[in-house]
């Protein structure tokens, strides 16, 4: 699980990222990112709607897998960055770990190149 300092807190905490952030999109998910104070740790959120899959178990599995990939690749994420992953496909639940990791890392690479 990702650390408490790397999570968003509160109902309106994602709003600045959605308003001012930039987007990079992949075939199954997108990443919206926005810079903030570089002395603060990065924050990550994963949004999986009910349109993706009706089962909360599957949605949570997708969410946990993406959080774990970001946690392992901690050094690749710049401090002071807000990241919001939005999932569009239920295929991520059954996707093998290496392919999912490659997809997430590509989005993170595109985001770090745009900053």
pLDDT in tens, the chain (115 residues): 788 889 999 888 999 999 999 999 998 999 999 998 889 999 999 999 999 999 999 999 999 999 999 999 877 788 889 999 999 998 888 999 999 999 999 999 888 876 5
Predicted pLDDT at 114: 67
Q: Which domain holds residue 26?
A: 4-114
Q: How many residues does the chain have?
A: 115
Any alpha helices (H) in the chain, and if so which ranges?
A: 15-20, 56-72, 97-114
Predicted pLDDT at 110: 87
Q: Any idea which residue has 């897998």 for tokens?
A: 65
Q: What is the pLDDT of residues 80-97, one digit of tens each?
A: 899 999 999 988 889 999
Which CATH number covers residue 31? 3.30.230.10
Which three-class secondary structure state does DSSP give residue 45?
strand
- Number of domains present in the structure of the chain: 1
The answer to whether 31 and 85 are in contact (CB under 8 A) is yes
Predicted pLDDT at 115: 56
In the chain, helix, strand, coil percent, each to 5?
45, 20, 35
> What is the pTM (predicted TM-score) of this model?
0.91
Q: Is 79 exposed, middle or buried (0-12, 13-18, 19+ CB in 10 A)?
A: exposed
Across-strand partners of 106? none
């Amino acid at each position: 699980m990702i650390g408490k300092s790397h999570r968003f807190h509160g109902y309106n905490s994602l709003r600045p990222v959605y308003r001012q952030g930039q987007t990079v999109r992949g075939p199954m998910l997108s990443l919206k990112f926005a810079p903030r104070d570089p002395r603060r740790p990065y924050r990550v959120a994963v949004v999986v709607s009910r349109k993706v899959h009706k089962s909360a178990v599957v949605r949570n599995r997708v969410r946990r897998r993406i959080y774990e990939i970001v946690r392992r690749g901690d050094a690749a994420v710049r401090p002071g960055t807000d990241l919001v992953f939005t999932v569009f496909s239920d295929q991520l639940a059954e996707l093998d770990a290496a392919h999912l990791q490659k997809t997430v890392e590509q989005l993170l690479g595109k985001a770090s190149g745009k900053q």
